[in-house]
Structure 1
Amino acid sequence: MNNIKSTFSIKDLEHLTGIKAHTIRIWEKRYNLLKPERTDTNIRYYSLDNLQKLLNISYLNNNGYKISKIASLDNEDIPKLVKKVAENDTTNNHAIDAFKLAMLNFDQKLFYDTYENLIKEKSFSDIFYQDLIPLLSEIGMLWQTDTITPAQEHFLTSLIRQKILINTEIIQSQNQVKTDEIFVLYLPDNEIHELGLMIINYEIIAKGHQAIFLGQSVPLDSLKDLLNYYDKITFISYFTVKPEKDEIDNYIKDFSEKLIIKDSIKFWVLGRMLNEIDLNSLPKQIVPFITIKDLVKKL
């Protein structure tokens, strides 16, 4: 069964474009900018073409073009103007909109073309922080509001994962390890959100450190093996949804007892589940970070 979302409610448009539903209705009525269709029960809905047009309209409006001016353009001239404006645009809005359309259309070419245009002007690290992190934040909200399907989210994140892996391999082949400290990156049991951890791995290697990336859903007891091989270890993890609220204190306690057996062992941790614990009560060798950038500064 095909469950790909190809029609959108006005609330979906609001979530995807950031334009209030009330404003969309006014533009629709006053300027005839969009032409929704209606169901048999007279509920309006919008096509993917309507969404793309509204994203373009929003982009031009945010760049100083009045709605009355945009409305006077022929439909085929709007994307041409967007392309022209985007060539001199230093913000990331157009790229993020393009990535969202690539996701909605399962359009790999649009994703790759958008990325290639960015990499001509920016480093991979800048693309990740300036374009992909804001994009992923939006995608999380869109998924929670059922504006996009899980298939669309997985399509996009798999393409981002590819880019991180490719760029990590490039710097691994170029960089020499500068220190004897080892960073071990892992996610707790049943935690699968690894993109943040992957970019930390990239940053660690880029700075000349040695990293072991263990990835998703690693049992705590499995980490004990590393203590037999290395004296100086910094474990790094990302608590996005796991451990759960009623488990996280015990998890931190178990980690401390089983792994922090000497001063040269540290634990750096990020993720929204940290909001569920008292950060001031953590042992001194466990260091919380609010953002990836905060952690990278510590390297």
Structure 2
Amino acid sequence: MSTYSIKDLEQLSGIKAHTLRIWEQRYSLLCPKRTDTNIRYYDDADLKLILNVALLNDNGFKISKIASMDAVEMKDEVMKLTERSLTHDDQIHALTICMIEMDEERFDKILSSNILKLGFEQTMLNIIYPFMSKIGVLWQTGAINPAQEHFISNLVRQKLIVAIDGQVVNGGGKKFLLFLPEGELHEISLLFAAYLIKSNGHKVIYLGQSTPNDDLLSVYKLHEPEYLLTIITTSPSAEYAQEYINGLSERFSNSTILVTGYQVIGQDLKFPANVVQLNYIRAIKDLLEEMERVPQEK
């Protein structure tokens, strides 16, 4: 079972901590536990409750009405909303509940429904990716149980692999070599980048997680890609990120190197001339759209 601070609840639900405390006092919505040192904390049941409350409140239910609902009534109302609502935040709340309960069937149903309504790319950009970013931050701080994070990541990974396999590239376009640094295992963003690149008619050479430097160099020499793309989430750590980026720039000086990730964005790094920082996942899409405006070499 995971434990959460009131700030964690705020981050996941979007409800300010001050508001949560008021609801706690006025409606007895929450009953925080306390550690041996008297520090307040909340559990999975509290998080699930607040996510349900947030979803209902955002859709016009008054807090007094919500507070009077029993667990079954609240669940029924939430299920009705998530099945008909196209609001991105509502879907993210629903997916977070699936994560807490480890409800694979419900997660798959929500994801499949959104893909049918919005398309795969828009579902990833507007629902899954913000959802993964949110729980990723909490995983970094230890607020999310690793088993919950792995459960969700594997389900999303399965969807991405199927979507990537469905893309057919008929030649032309540029070559992109995609990889994660040695020791880096967070693959979702790299897989989504592969999907976007292939769907825009370019070739992807995908090496995936924890790529040894020697293997990367061997594949590079074989394929001579115009672009390399890597995402640094945890490895190398911030103190070694600059050294790693400089090494990539020197070894692959004839290519453009695209870098992003938790250890890159917002850090005080200097980027060599052939290295481009991508500040967010949509920047990959923007880059591909810019390339579309430039005639491809035949």
TM-score bracket for this pair, using the shorter chain length: 0.7 to 0.9
1:298 alignment counterpart:
287
1:100 alignment counterpart:
96
Distance 1:21 1:221, change over 3 A: same
1:223 alignment counterpart:
216
TM-score, normalised to structure 1, is 0.82
Of stretches 59-68 and 189-198 in structure 1, the one that deviates more from structure 2 is: 59-68
Distance 1:178 1:160, change over 3 A: same
Of stretches 48-57 and 193-202 in structure 1, the one that deviates more from structure 2 is: 48-57
1:203 alignment counterpart:
196
Distance 1:9 1:249, change over 3 A: closer
| Aligned equivalent of 1:116, options 88, 112, 115 | 112
Offset at residue 42 of structure 1 (A): 9.2
| Aligned equivalent of 2:15, options 19, 27, 42 | 19
Offset at residue 74 of structure 1 (A): 4.8
Of stretches 127-136 and 269-278 in structure 1, the one that deviates more from structure 2 is: 269-278
TM-score, normalised to structure 2, is 0.82
Gap regions ≥5 residues in structure 1 = none
1:273 alignment counterpart:
263
Q: Secondary structure at the match of 1:240?
A: coil
Offset at residue 123 of structure 1 (A): 1.0
Q: In the TM superposition, what whole-angstrom CA distance separates every residue of 1:189-238 from its partner, at most 9, and x where no partner exists?
A: 21111111110011111111111100112222322223443344311111
Q: In the TM superposition, what whole-angstrom CA distance separates every residue of 1:239-275 from its partner, at most 9, and x where no partner exists?
A: 2223333333332332233222x4xx22122123234
Gap regions ≥5 residues in structure 2 = 289-298
| Aligned equivalent of 1:55, options 46, 51, 73 | 51
Offset at residue 145 of structure 1 (A): 4.0
| Aligned equivalent of 1:181, options 174, 179, 183 | 174
Q: Secondary structure at the match of 1:268?
A: strand
Aligned-residue Cα RMSD (Å) equals 2.9
Amino acid at match of 1:66: K
Q: Secondary structure at the match of 1:272?
A: coil
Distance 1:12 1:247, change over 3 A: closer
Of stretches 203-212 and 239-248 in structure 1, the one that deviates more from structure 2 is: 239-248
What percentage of residue pairs aligned between the two structures are identical? 38
Q: Secondary structure at the match of 1:291?
A: coil
| Aligned equivalent of 1:143, options 131, 139, 143 | 139
Amino acid at match of 1:146: G
Matching of residue 288 in structure 1 with residue 274 in structure 2: no
Q: Is the 8 A contact 2:82 2:94 kept in 1?
A: no
Looking at structure 2, the residues matched to 44 and 269 of structure 1 have their Cα atoms a distance apart, in angstroms, of 39
Q: Secondary structure at the match of 1:120?
A: helix
Offset at residue 277 of structure 1 (A): 4.6
Distance 1:31 1:183, change over 3 A: same
Amino acid at match of 1:67: I
| Aligned equivalent of 1:234, options 227, 239, 247 | 227
Q: In the TM superposition, what whole-angstrom CA distance separates every residue of 1:102-157 from its partner, at most 9, and x where no partner exists?
A: 22122211211221221221111111111111111221232244332111111111
Looking at structure 1, the residues matched to 59 and 177 of structure 2 have their Cα atoms a distance apart, in angstroms, of 44
Distance 1:208 1:27, change over 3 A: same
2:296 alignment counterpart:
none
2:207 alignment counterpart:
214
Amino acid at match of 2:22: I
The higher radius of gyration belongs to: 1
Matching of residue 66 in structure 1 with residue 62 in structure 2: yes
Looking at structure 1, the residues matched to 148 and 251 of structure 2 have their Cα atoms a distance apart, in angstroms, of 40
Looking at structure 1, the residues matched to 49 and 125 of structure 2 have their Cα atoms a distance apart, in angstroms, of 27
Q: Is the 8 A contact 2:246 2:272 kept in 1?
A: no
Q: In the TM superposition, what whole-angstrom CA distance separates every residue of 1:257-297 from its partner, at most 9, and x where no partner exists?
A: 3222x4xx221221232344544x522x2222112211222
Q: Is the 8 A contact 2:197 2:203 kept in 1?
A: yes
Distance 1:228 1:21, change over 3 A: closer
Q: Secondary structure at the match of 1:19?
A: coil
Q: Secondary structure at the match of 2:279?
A: coil
